[in-house]
Amino acid sequence: MKKKPILKKQMNRQYYYLFGLSAILMLLAFCLESPQRLLDGMITILISPSQLFTDYMQIASVGSTLLNVAIMLLINIYSYKKLEIPVNGTVIGSLGMLAGFSFFGKNLFNSIPFMLGVWIYAKVTKQNYRNYVIVGLFGSALGPLVSFLAFGGTLPSGWSILVAYALGIFIGFILPQLSTQYLGFHQGFSLYNVGFTAGIVGMVVLGFLNAFEIEVETKTLANTESPLILYGILIGLCVVLLATSFYLHFKKKEKYHFKLLLKLSGRLPSDFVEMTNLATVTFNMSIMGLILLGYVMINGGQLNGPIVGSIIGAMSFGAFGNQVKNTVPVLVGIMIGCYLTGVDVASTSALVAAIFGTTLAPVSGYYGPLAGVIAGFVHITLVSHVVVMHGGLNLYNNGFAGGFVAAVLVPIFEIFEGIRQDINERKAEG
């Protein structure tokens, strides 16, 4: 019984650390811009249709975007803490995705209905809400659907918000069951499982909208400039994570388990925090961030909201499936695919596809680096085509595409894996 207060105290410290990171972003927002400009920018963000890609820095400002990120993080961190959810890989991954997509698509207005829907599901099925709150957070991938219906001008103004929220709540209600069912489709080889689920839901909803002659156009509103502060945010985050790792290792005596980490395939569910420890995970996340930033710079890309958000989101999965050994082959495959198919490797869409294409890292981790290269190559050829299936209403487009890529390739890789094992058995038998 003595350990319980100690564990709770440790959890509180971890949440205070997360609160601190969010507070720094909020402070930075107020240092960059006046309160009036921040307010005006936040209003612009909240009433934006927010379809993929809508760079909040482009339609509003850098400061208001950072404020949006900070607000989203603070509310959800408080929710996790209140529910006493341990800080594990799932929590870190979900908060990282939330922060990332709050740069381009997620805001408080379009995220609330999904959380409400999941909460109602938990109440109706008489289950603990804390078991599903993360599904609700990931489910806000369909936030653009709510924003588009509310502010896209396709519905009567008196009904648009009501209809948007009702649909969002209903989707949140069915997400827990759907996400569980669709996990089997890709067998855990795509890290962004709810992204695949959201893509299916978005595809169905788009079909209904088109049936009623409501057209949804995919748009790309991305900042063409590359403010230096964005480099500072990413590099600063990596440095903070690295410093945290050193603190946990040297001060808290947490041993590094890099050899074990690199042996983990990343196949869902792979909670690296539970499998190793926070010292190892924070170091891994830092390295992941630097690798992804390096990928952008090597290919001549410019930092904007979608790219910065993608890097933050993907590096957070350094706690839940991504590590250097299983991620780099996928990036190599995507880069090869871009050059061979004539895709502009430096474009925002290609860079976001590469960064989030690391959802297929478990394929590389399980079947080897060559399989990862092949998965990355197939992913870049598919990802631009599946976005029309949901009209940009699903922010996790790469999770949607990755689910299909894994579903197609994994059975093929299984055939060759079986042949390889058979050959090895025959050699062993002499």
pLDDT in tens, 126-143: 999 999 999 999 999 999
- Mean pLDDT, to the nearest integer, of 379-393? 89
User: What's the pTM value of the predicted model, to 2 decimals?
Assistant: 0.94
224-252 pLDDT tens trace: 677 889 999 999 999 999 999 999 999 99
93: pLDDT confidence band, cut at 50, 70 and 90?
Answer: very high
55: left (phi over 0), alpha (psi -120 to 50) or beta: beta
Q: Residue 322 burial (CB < 10 Å; 0-12/13-18/19+)?
A: buried
pLDDT of residue 1: 38
What are the tokens at 54? 């809508």
Of 242-251, 367-376, 386-395, the poorest mean pLDDT is in: 386-395
pLDDT at 52 over 80: no
375: pLDDT confidence band, cut at 50, 70 and 90?
Answer: very high
pLDDT of residue 424: 82
Helices (H), 247-304: 258-263, 272-275, 278-298
% the chain with pLDDT above 90: 80
- Mean pLDDT, to the nearest integer, of 19-39? 96
C-alpha 95, offset from chain centre: 9
pLDDT of residue 384: 86
In degrees, rounded to 5, the angle at the alpha carbon of residue 276 between the alpha carbons of residues 270 and 278 is 105
430: pLDDT confidence band, cut at 50, 70 and 90?
Answer: low
pLDDT of residue 2: 44
Whether the Cβ atoms of residue 266 and residue 93 lie closer than 8 Å to each other: no
Of 41-50, 81-90, 154-163, 419-428, the poorest mean pLDDT is in: 419-428
325-360 pLDDT tens trace: 999 999 999 999 999 999 999 999 999 999 999 999
- Mean pLDDT, to the nearest integer, of 153-171? 92
Q: List, in sequence order, every beta strand (DSSP E) within 198-271.
A: none
pLDDT at 429 over 80: no
- Mean pLDDT, to the nearest integer, of 386-394? 87
pLDDT of residue 3: 47
Whether the Cβ atoms of residue 152 and residue 164 lie closer than 8 Å to each other: no
Q: How many whole angstroms separate alpha carbon 276 and alpha carbon 320?
A: 11
Of 141-155, 163-177, 364-378, the poorest mean pLDDT is in: 141-155
216: pLDDT confidence band, cut at 50, 70 and 90?
Answer: confident
252-290 pLDDT tens trace: 999 999 999 999 999 998 999 999 999 999 999 999 999
Q: How many whole angstroms separate alpha carbon 119 and alpha carbon 12?
A: 24
Q: CB within 8 A of 91, min separation 6: which ones?
A: 80, 85, 134
